[in-house]
């Protein structure tokens, strides 16, 4: 098929390459001309065989670039992967503000308007698939007024993680597809059948909009729950969070799966915290009886504050290791490490941060209290200065004679009970 991609960022480019890899003819367009090239990829994204970069795939691909008019002329299906950002204070790296707002749809609305104008001028029917994250009701209220009779609008959000978007698009749990036009859905399903054999779930556009954000916030709920158990274990004799969650993970019938059911740092990334905050806005807008999404974000924030309190129990310089929201990544959006930094800064502490995937030079550290905010493998064998304290929410740093390791979520040894 002839496929177009409007938006060649961290989501659009991997999807375009994945479709190209399966023999389709893909042409991309981005408002930023600097990304319309095949030499380099400016961010870390794993390749199809575990490569650390997409660049080899990009350079060997048949992906083409063109103007918006050329993409319309080329394509029978056009994906729109344009950002719907939140302000920085709604990304989960700062304390939760009292006010709530919806996502910013400025970029998405402008892209759909421009695309619709070009399609109208071409007088050509085109299936337009929105993949951007939105709250339920957005396509009907904001995008439908911008389109014309030639645009067959659909909603098809991807369940992907930044850094593994290429792999996640090719191997999803299922394809979620919001349908207004059955013919457009048939064409899209035909495309997906050439890529994988995963279920193709059709539903209304509004249902699909809600499923997407519910999926992301459900993950946040699991992480808050697991970290609540971690704090219980840390304060209870004879307990170990990993053994507790390993027991829960065996209940794969009623408790679904063990993914995201491990103690550690809070949820992060460019989707999950901000989706909780956006749904909290929607909860207030709809006057729900209970705003569970606010509660999840408060729980996440309080758990981060608890970890910073553990740091403050030691009269040593404060260091947070890791800026990114997940291992072996340089993406800082929604990072719980940055939230911990900002919470400490609010208390008047000076905090040093270091991330080997972001910072070109490692500072010379004196004895300090280190919080491992990101589970980078490098921190397991890090040169911690003698006399330091390492607060390890991941429980992967070995005890040492030179520094003290606090394995978060493993309670103190209970006193022996005589028979």
Instruction: Just give the CATH number of 2-202.
Output: 3.40.50.720
Q: Does the pLDDT of residue 419 top 60, yes or no? A: no
Condensed to tens digits (0 to 9), the pLDDT of residues 265-319 reads: 877 877 777 888 888 888 888 888 888 888 888 889 999 999 999 999 999 999 9
Q: Do 295 and 254 form a contact (C-beta atoms < 8 A)?
A: no
- pTM of the shown model: 0.81
Radius of gyration of the chain (CA): 23
The residue length of the chain stands at: 419
Among 178, 181, 72, 177, CA closest to 126: 72
Condensed to tens digits (0 to 9), the pLDDT of residues 129-157 reads: 999 999 999 999 999 999 999 999 999 99
Q: Do 229 and 242 form a contact (C-beta atoms < 8 A)?
A: no
Domain ranges for the chain, please list them: 2-202
Region of 269 on the Ramachandran plot (φ > 0 left; ψ -120 to 50 alpha; else beta): left
> Which of 63-72, 118-127, 158-167 is the least confident region?
158-167
Q: Does the pLDDT of residue 174 top 60, yes or no? A: yes
Burial 31-62 (b: 16+ CB within 10 A, else e): eeeebbebeebeebbbbeeeeeebeebbeebe
- When pLDDT is averaged across residues 84-104 and rounded to a whole number, the result is 85
Higher pLDDT, 177 or 401: 177
How far is it, in rounded angstroms, from Cα 293 to Cα 278? 9
Condensed to tens digits (0 to 9), the pLDDT of residues 234-260 reads: 988 889 999 989 998 888 887 777 777
Residues 227, 232, 234, 238: is their CA dihedral positive or negative?
A: negative
Q: How much of the chain exceeds pLDDT 90, in percent?
A: 62
Question: Which token pair is 300?
Answer: 């996440």
The reported pLDDT for the residue numbered 191 is 97
The reported pLDDT for the residue numbered 375 is 95
How far is it, in rounded angstroms, from Cα 202 to Cα 220? 25
Residue 414: Cβ-neighbour burial (10 angstroms; 0-12, 13-18, 19+): exposed
> Looking at beta carbons, which pairs linking 29-34 to residues 24 or more positions away fall under 8 Å?
29/4, 29/5, 29/65, 29/66, 29/67, 29/68, 29/70, 29/71, 30/6, 31/111, 32/8
In 312-419, beta strands by DSSP E: 318-321, 351-354, 369-372, 389-392, 404-407
The reported pLDDT for the residue numbered 418 is 60
């Amino acid at each position: 098929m002839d496929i177009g991609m409007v938006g060649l960022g961290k989501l659009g480019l991997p999807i375009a390459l994945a479709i190209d890899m399966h023999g389709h003819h893909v042409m991309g367009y981005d408002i930023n001309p600097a990304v319309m090239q095949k030499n380099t990829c400016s961010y870390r994204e794993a390749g199809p065989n575990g490569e650390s970069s997409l660049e080899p795939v990009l350079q060997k691909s048949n992906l083409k670039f063109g103007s918006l008019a050329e993409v319309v002329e080329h394509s029978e299906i056009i994906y729109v992967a344009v950002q719907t950002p939140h302000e920085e204070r709604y990304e989960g790296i700062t304390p939760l503000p009292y006010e709530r707002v919806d996502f910013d749809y400025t970029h998405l609305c402008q892209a759909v308007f421009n695309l619709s104008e070009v399609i109208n001028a071409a007088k050509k029917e085109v299936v337009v698939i929105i993949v951007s994250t939105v709250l339920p009701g957005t396509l009907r209220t904001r995008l439908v007024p911008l389109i014309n009779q030639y645009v067959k609008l659909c909603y098809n959000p991807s369940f992907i993680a930044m850094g593994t978007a290429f792999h996640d698009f090719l191997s999803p749990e299922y394809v979620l597809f919001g349908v207004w036009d059955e013919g457009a859905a048939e064409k899209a399903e035909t495309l997906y059948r050439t890529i994988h054999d995963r279920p193709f779930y059709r539903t209304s556009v509004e249902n699909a909009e809600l499923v997407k954000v519910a999926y992301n916030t459900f993950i946040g709920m699991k992480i808050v729950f697991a970290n609540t158990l971690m704090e219980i274990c840390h304060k209870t004799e004879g307990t170990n969070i990993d053994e507790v969650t390993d027991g829960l993970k065996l209940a794969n019938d009623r408790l679904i799966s063990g993914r995201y059911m491990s103690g550690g740092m809070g949820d992060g990334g460019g989707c999950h915290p901000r989706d909780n905050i956006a749904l909290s806005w929607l909860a207030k807008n709809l006057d729900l009886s209970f705003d569970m999404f606010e509660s999840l974000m408060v729980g996440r924030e309080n758990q981060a504050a608890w970890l910073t309190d553990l740091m403050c129990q030691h009269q040593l310089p404060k260091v947070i290791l890791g800026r990114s929201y997940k291992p072996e990544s340089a993406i800082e959006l929604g990072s719980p490490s940055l939230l911990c930094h900002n919470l400490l800064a609010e208390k008047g502490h000076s905090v040093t941060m270091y991330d080997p995937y972001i910072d070109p030079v490692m500072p010379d550290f004196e004895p300090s209290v280190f919080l491992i905010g990101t589970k980078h493998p490098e921190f397991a064998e890090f040169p911690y200065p003698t006399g330091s304290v390492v607060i390890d929410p991941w429980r992967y740093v070995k005890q040492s004679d030179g520094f003290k390791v606090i394995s978060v979520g493993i309670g103190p040894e209970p006193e022996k009970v005589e028979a």
